[in-house]
Amino acid sequence: MKYMILLFGSQRDYDAMAGRPGAEPAWTGEDVAKLAEFMESWWAEVVESGEAVDAQGLTAPVHARRVQLVDGAPVVTDGPYAETQEVLAGYNIVDCDSFDRAVEIAARLAGTPHPAGALPDRGWYVDVRPVASGAEDSLA
């Protein structure tokens, strides 16, 4: 069964990691390198276990466009969204024996390094969801 591990962030998170002025707490190059090393190592373990399917990070919300239906017509809004608005930052898809195993893989992300005070007020989390294999699965 395939499961998607969804990672979340905000424009503020992206700005802090990029060291943009005013972003608090600002990440150093060393902080970003530690994060990258951790994520690469974590994913390499998943690849080595044979459970890796796909992994992608997404660009900052400032580069997004939202298409929504307003009065029956599609309306496009450019980013940025509110700097604290949470958005999908990336995802990993794993193919493993059980939901519990997918959660176990995702739980290892709790060790993700970050500078002191960098966790958002909402706290840290990822979502794990089964990937539907057909229309009937998505409605269950």
Ranges of each domain in the chain: 2-130
Query: Which DSSP symbol is given to 82?
Result: -
| DSSP label of 26 | P
pLDDT band at 105 (very low <50, low <70, confident <90, very high): very high
Specify the pLDDT at position 72: 96
CATH topology of domain 2-130: Alpha-Beta Plaits (3.30.70)
The H-assigned helical ranges of 3-126 are 11-17, 29-49, 99-107
pLDDT above 60 for 35: yes
* pLDDT at residue 88 tops 70: yes
The pLDDT mean for the chain works out to 89
For position 126, what pLDDT does the model report?
A: 94
Q: Once rounded to an integer, what is the mean pLDDT over residues 76-89?
A: 77
Categorize the per-residue pLDDT at 75 as very low, low, confident or very high, splitting at 50, 70 and 90: very high
pLDDT at residue 67 tops 80: yes
- More confident: 8 or 138: 8
Q: What local confidence, expressed as pLDDT, does residue 10 receive?
A: 85
- Residue 121 pLDDT: 58
d(CA 36, CA 105): 17
- Contacts of 37-41 spanning 24+ positions with Cβ under 8 A: 38/111, 38/112, 38/113, 39/112
Return the SS3 of 89.
Answer: strand
pLDDT at position 81 is 66
| Residues 56 and 135: beta-carbon distance below 8 Å | no
Instruction: Provide the whole-model pTM.
Output: 0.87
